[in-house]
Amino acid sequence: MRDKETVIEKIRIAFGGNDYPGDMLLQGSTEGCEPYEEVGPFQGKEDWRIIEAGFLDAHAGALHFFSEAGFRFFLPAYLIADLDGRLTSADPLFHLTHGFSDATVVTPTNVRSFLRRTGMAAFLNPRRYGAMTFHDYARYRLSVFTREEANAIVAYLNHKRESASSTFETEEIDAALQSYWLERAQTAPPAETLKRHIVEQDAFLAAIEDRKKER
């Protein structure tokens, strides 16, 4: 499973059947102009398999600003481009591992030295999100993936681990695998379960709409 082409094929199969979310559901953040500048160019790109790596790299920031639906739909394009070594700016690995390990940095100032915590236990933005940590946010955002998709991501992470350029990167990947991805790959809802739910939900809404018209 560690062979690059095998991992790429696993990603293509796991994500290949996903429907395009629609232009209106791609963008998550609406603060400032940067989110639209990064995500807007993805509108209308209904087949992630034909997106060029240069386009993905030019919009590396989109990985921060996608909605959960947009992130799930376009992530495989980034993963495959990364495995092929065609990305220089975009870093999908960061978005799959950040929030599962801790790091502290001592920052000296004229007043005193401050111990700054980043990663798992750090607060996301207390004024807006209260006690939510980056670990809480990571588990929420990454729960969008089905069991098959999570297994493909595990294969990607294992491959990246084998070619990690530093001990720090290896530790980041190991922490993400052990504290989230391995379990997610076993317990996430299967793709078929999700598809059946969508079909049933559509049928229910259609029946309700018909009932309203009859009144």
Q: How far apart are the first and last CA of the chain?
A: 57
- Outline where DSSP puts E strands in 110-209: 113-119
The amino acid at residue 30 is T
pLDDT tens for each residue of 154-208: 999 999 999 998 999 999 999 999 999 999 999 999 999 999 999 999 999 999 9
Alpha-carbon 74 to chain mean position = 9
In the chain, the number of structural domains is: 1
Residue 69 pLDDT more than 70? yes
| pLDDT score, position 198 | 93
- Tell me: the pLDDT tens digits for 25-55? 999 988 899 999 999 999 999 999 999 999 9
CA distances from 88 to 62, 78, 131 (A): 15, 11, 35
User: At 126, which amino acid appears?
Assistant: P
- Are 96 and 176 within 8 A, CB to CB? yes
What pTM was computed for the model?
A: 0.91
- Predicted local distance difference test score (pLDDT) of residue 102: 87
CB 185 within 8 A of CB 150: yes
Residue 57 amino acid letter: D
Q: Which two tokens stand for residue 80?
A: 């495959």
CA-nearest of 165, 141, 142, 137 to 153 is: 142
What's residue 1's pLDDT? 47
CB atoms within 10 A of CB 128: 7
Tokens of 114: 């401050």
Partner residues linked to 133 by β-bridges: 123
CB atoms within 10 A of CB 19: 10
Q: Which domain holds residue 210?
A: 4-214
103 beta partners: 118
